Amino acid sequence: MLKGALIGCGFFAINQLHAWRDIAGEGGAAIVALCDRDAARLAQVAAQFGIARTYTDAAAMLDAEELDFVDICTTAPSHRALVELVASHKLPVICQKPLAPTLEEAEAIVTACEKAGVPLMVHENFRWQSAIRAVRGVIDSGRIGSVFWGRVSFRSAFDVFSGQPYLAEGERFILEDLGVHALDVARFLLGDVSKLTATTKRVNPRIKGEDVATALMEHEGGVTGIMDCSYASKLEEELFPQTLVEIDGTEGSIRLGAGYRLTVTDADGTEYRDVSPPLLPWAERPWHNIQESVLAIQKHWVQSLNGGAQLETSGTDNLKTLRLVEACYHSAATGLPVEPAAL
């Protein structure tokens, strides 16, 4: 069984710790030590998960513990220092999205891990949701022919600020926080992006950053893509945190609609499937699709450390997603198309 430590015991880490406990139950990996600079929070989470070895200082933990990997679940400003620290101990590292506040810092993180020769996985989990994997499965089956158009859409008015107050405080909001997932899903389903144009808007006057963004993308294989996300959309039915997908191919189409309804039309007609995520024993609606994807990505990590899988959401891969985020901000600021590879 692999031994891991987790740094950052805040809002989202609870999901990761539940998933690690499931994975430990299967003999894959266990979290043996916890770190948070907030001693009270650390004690509370350690008690909740029965983890005895705790530290308020990451360096002290890494000096004291015998580990196989480290999972970092702090917010972006702390990522570079923490990943570099873990890499200096020659340990494989998982880091939450967004990998860093700037592309330059993200590149430095990836370089540090490369130089240390340690695997780096970004906890970029939306593409691991079973509904998104189901869409990809249909594309790969060839049933809808050659894909020529797609849309990845996330529209909501869910109050994310009460659980994650820092989201209201940054100059950047939705593209950095949520668009990073939607753009990664667009890459996963439609391919890498050669050029994009984007707009952003702030609708909610109580936050600092943009809460609406739309991107028109030219994907490398010739597909036209749209990514749109909003936390200012008051809809009849609140769909948080569902990502909706539309894909058109030469022989048919795919729609991932509200309520995880998958509609596939091909030469033989239309098929409807319920691709709802399983409700894990520790999961809570409406977060259950995200929670399920946390378990999936962490299982992927263990499989990859054991030599059974190529890391899909590696740091190097994630730089391509972060270039799309950055390209959207550049395009929105200048009104011009941007080639992400040139950033």
Member of 177, 184, 210, 211 binding ligand 89Y (CB under 6 A): 177
Contact 121, 97 (CB under 8 A): no
- Give the Cα separation of 65 and 75 in Å (integer): 23
13 binds ligand 89Y (CB under 6 A): no
Query: Which of the ranges 73-81, 144-152, 185-193, 231-239 carries the binding residues for ligand NAD, by CB under 6 A?
Result: 73-81
Cβ contacts of 200 within 8 Å, gap of 6 or more: 174, 175, 210, 212, 213, 328, 329, 332
Q: Which two tokens stand for residue 318?
A: 């994630």
Residue 20 or 173: the one with the smaller Cβ distance to ligand 89Y is: 173
Interface of this chain with ligand 89Y, residues 14 to 53, rule: CB under 6 A: none
Interface of this chain with ligand NAD, residues 258 to 277, rule: CB under 6 A: none
137 binds ligand 89Y (CB under 6 A): no
Residue 107 or 218: the one with the smaller Cβ distance to ligand NAD is: 107
Interface of this chain with ligand NAD, residues 168 to 187, rule: CB under 6 A: 177
- Give the Cα separation of 218 and 187 in Å (integer): 11
- Give the Cα separation of 92 and 304 in Å (integer): 11
Interface of this chain with ligand NAD, residues 280 to 339, rule: CB under 6 A: 290
Query: Which of the ranges 2-10, 149-157, 216-224, 274-282 carries the binding residues for ligand NAD, by CB under 6 A?
Result: 2-10
Interface of this chain with ligand NAD, residues 25 to 54, rule: CB under 6 A: 35-38, 41
CA distances from 278 to 24, 131, 292, 293 (A): 19, 10, 7, 10
160 binds ligand 89Y (CB under 6 A): yes
What sign does the CA torsion over 78, 105, 333, 180 have? negative
Query: Which of the ranges 10-18, 103-111, 150-158, 204-212 carries the binding residues for ligand NAD, by CB under 6 A?
Result: 10-18
- Minimum distance between the CB of residue 31 and ligand NAD, rounded to whole angstroms? 15
Member of 13, 93, 207, 296 binding ligand NAD (CB under 6 A): 13
- Give the Cα separation of 216 and 226 in Å (integer): 5
Say which entry of ligand NAD, ligand 89Y, none residue 178 contacts (CB below 5 to 8 A, set by partner kind).
ligand 89Y
- Minimum distance between the CB of residue 334 and ligand 89Y, rounded to whole angstroms? 26
Dmax over Cα atoms in the chain, in whole Å? 62
Peptide bond into 165 cis (omega under 30): no
- Minimum distance between the CB of residue 27 and ligand 89Y, rounded to whole angstroms? 29
Member of 82, 178, 215, 302 binding ligand 89Y (CB under 6 A): 178
Residue 137 or 241: the one with the smaller Cβ distance to ligand 89Y is: 241
224 backbone dihedrals φ, ψ, rounded to 5°: -95, 130
- Vertex 263, ends 138 and 259: CA angle to 5°? 110
Interface of this chain with ligand 89Y, residues 204 to 243, rule: CB under 6 A: 241
The beta strand positions in the chain, using DSSP E, are 2-7, 29-35, 53-55, 69-72, 93-96, 120-123, 147-155, 193-201, 212-219, 224-230, 244-249, 252-257, 261-266, 269-274
- Minimum distance between the CB of residue 222 and ligand NAD, rounded to whole angstroms? 30
Which chain residues interact with ligand 89Y by CB under 6 A? 160, 164, 177-178, 181, 241
